[in-house]
């Protein structure tokens, strides 16, 4: 009997499946640029068949993500350099170079930059980058309307607490 090799991504028969790969050089990727975060999408949900997304965040000391949670997404932060304060379900963690923090779905968390930092953020399942794209489509006056922001957040599994 013949041996079947399964794809490690989705357990499908590998023959003719997942023939592409993703290679993104340093400082490249779909760019999201805000005042306190210069981010690059390294692996998109489309690249991974929906399994994950990976973002490189380069954050300044002005960076602050308010307390929020994601109903269906987990986030894993790997601190490449710098120092960030992450509050996870009421526990404060000071995370520095080489540290990893995993936040399961439905877990309240907030992130604040203490020392300029580079983080790799793994989002599971993929797709949370659609929230970043939606933010980029908004006009300045849209950010002054809490209901507009809330509608965009909720559409993309970002529940601000």
Q: pLDDT digits over 78-106, tens only?
A: 999 999 999 999 999 999 999 999 999 99
Tell me how far apart the terminal alpha carbons of the chain are, to the nearest angstrom.
56
- Residue 8: pLDDT band by 50, 70, 90 thresholds? low
Report pLDDT digits (tens) over 100-144: 999 999 999 999 999 999 999 999 999 988 988 888 888 889 888
Residue with the bigger pLDDT between 92 and 25: it is 92
Rounded to an integer, what distance in angstroms lies between the CA atom of residue 80 and that of residue 61? 16
Give me the phi and psi of 148, to 5 degrees please: -65, -45
Strands (E), the chain: 30-33, 37-43, 53-59, 64-69, 74-88, 91-96, 100-103, 109-124, 159-160
- Residue 14: pLDDT band by 50, 70, 90 thresholds? very low
Mean pLDDT, residues 39-53 = 92
CB contact at 8 A, 50 and 127: yes
């Amino acid at each position: 009997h013949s041996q079947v090799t399964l794809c490690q991504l989705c357990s499908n028969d590998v023959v003719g499946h997942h023939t592409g790969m993703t290679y993104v050089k340093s400082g490249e990727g779909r760019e999201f640029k805000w005042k306190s975060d210069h981010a690059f999408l390294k692996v998109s949900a489309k690249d991974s068949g929906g399994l994950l997304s990976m973002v490189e965040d380069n954050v300044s000391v002005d960076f602050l993500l308010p307390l929020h949670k994601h109903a269906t997404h987990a986030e894993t932060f790997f601190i490449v350099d710098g120092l960030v304060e992450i509050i996870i379900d009421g526990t404060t963690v000071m995370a520095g170079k080489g540290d990893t923090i995993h936040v399961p779905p439905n877990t309240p968390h907030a992130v604040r930059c203490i020392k300029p930092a580079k983080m790799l953020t793994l989002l599971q399942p993929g797709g949370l980058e659609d929230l970043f794209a939606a933010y980029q489509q908004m006009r300045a006056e849209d950010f002054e309307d809490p209901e507009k922001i809330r509608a965009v957040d909720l559409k993309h599994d970002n529940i601000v607490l």
